[in-house]
């Protein structure tokens, strides 16, 4: 299923990224899905014994991209250039966008413009075999971990914006449990592999502390 982003009277579709069948990433994705089914997210994020850490991170970056894509797609009618004139996670945190090409310096954008630019940028990385190799035996680039850190740091900003500006709408749609579970998975994963600096997570600091302190089988707290 693809998610639709409405921006300035135009529609953009981001197709979910899938690991090719038969690849190592496809096998790891299936393993991850089976462990997630246990309900123990702390155990589910841990690197399987004998597996390559870069492969494991790659699988999860793709998964989080797909989930953020879907989650944001549910609230696009509420997130417009008029209602969300800046990309923020509450009044203290505004995010600027830079990609080195279209936006060569940090640029203030409305929230939907920011998300559109970010998801376009991430999808370009995921589709680039030199950045995210899918073939078995193809080495990961030396800066792969750094690239993933940047992607995950920026995807967090979308979670932050949804929680700060659109949680009431998420609740009205009845999908707050799905959002909370997915975000908890994201937070536990980036914490396990130290992929996002704690200062970058400050917009949701109190919520993060609650999530990290919860027992594995306790339902996620509503923010």
- All domains of the chain, ordered by start, with CATH? 3-213 (1.20.140.30)
Q: Is the pLDDT of residue 164 over 80?
A: yes
Q: Which of 158, 142, 143 is nearest to 67 (CA)?
A: 158
Distances (CA, A) of 64 to 56, 58, 109, 184, 212: 12, 10, 23, 11, 18
Q: Which of 141, 119, 135, 137 is nearest to 61 (CA)?
A: 119
Give the model's pLDDT for residue 113. 97
Cα-flanking dihedrals φ and ψ of residue 12, to 5°?
A: -125, 135
Tokens of 169: 């709408």
Give the model's pLDDT for residue 16. 52
- Give me the torsion for CA of 18, 24, 30, 34, rounded to 10°: -140
Helix ranges (DSSP H) in 3-138: 24-36, 41-44, 53-73, 111-126
> Are 61 and 151 a contacting pair, CB within 8 Å?
yes
Question: pLDDT tens-digit profile of 56-75?
Answer: 999 999 999 999 999 999 99
Give the model's pLDDT for residue 18. 55
Sign of CA dihedral 144, 146, 149, 150: negative
- Between 5-9, 10-14, 155-159, 174-178, the lowest mean confidence (pLDDT) is in 5-9
Banded model confidence at residue 148, pLDDT cuts 50, 70, 90: very high
> Are 110 and 83 a contacting pair, CB within 8 Å?
no
**Mean pLDDT to the nearest integer, 206-222:** 65
What's the chain's average pLDDT? Answer: 83
Banded model confidence at residue 20, pLDDT cuts 50, 70, 90: low
Question: pLDDT tens-digit profile of 116-138?
Answer: 999 999 999 999 999 998 777 78
Q: Which of 87, 100, 70 is nearest to 181 (CA)?
A: 70
Q: Is the pLDDT of residue 23 over 90?
A: no
Q: Is the pTM of this model over 0.95?
A: no
Place of tokens 């945190």: 93
């Amino acid at each position: 299923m693809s998610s639709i982003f409405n921006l300035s009277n135009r529609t953009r579709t981001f197709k979910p990224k899938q690991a090719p069948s038969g690849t190592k990433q496809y096998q790891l994705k299936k393993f991850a899905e089976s462990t997630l089914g246990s309900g123990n997210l702390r155990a589910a994020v841990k690197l399987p014994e004998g597996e390559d850490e870069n492969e494991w991170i790659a699988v999860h970056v793709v998964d989080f991209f797909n989930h953020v894509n879907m989650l944001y797609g549910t609230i696009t009618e509420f997130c417009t250039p008029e209602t969300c004139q800046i990309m923020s996670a509450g009044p203290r945190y505004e995010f600027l966008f830079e990609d080195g090409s279209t936006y060569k310096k940090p640029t203030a954008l409305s929230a939907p413009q920011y998300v559109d630019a970010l998801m376009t940028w991430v999808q370009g990385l995921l589709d680039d075999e030199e950045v995210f190799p899918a073939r078995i035996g193809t080495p990961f680039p030396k800066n792969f971990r750094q690239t993933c850190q940047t992607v995950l740091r920026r995807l967090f900003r979308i979670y932050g914006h949804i929680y700060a500006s659109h949680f009431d709408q998420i609740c009205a749609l009845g999908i707050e449990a799905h959002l909370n579970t997915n975000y908890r998975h994201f937070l536990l994963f980036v914490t396990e592999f130290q992929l996002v600096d704690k200062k970058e997570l400050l917009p949701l600091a109190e919520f993060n502390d609650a999530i990290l302190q919860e027992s594995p089988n306790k339902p996620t707290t509503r923010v």
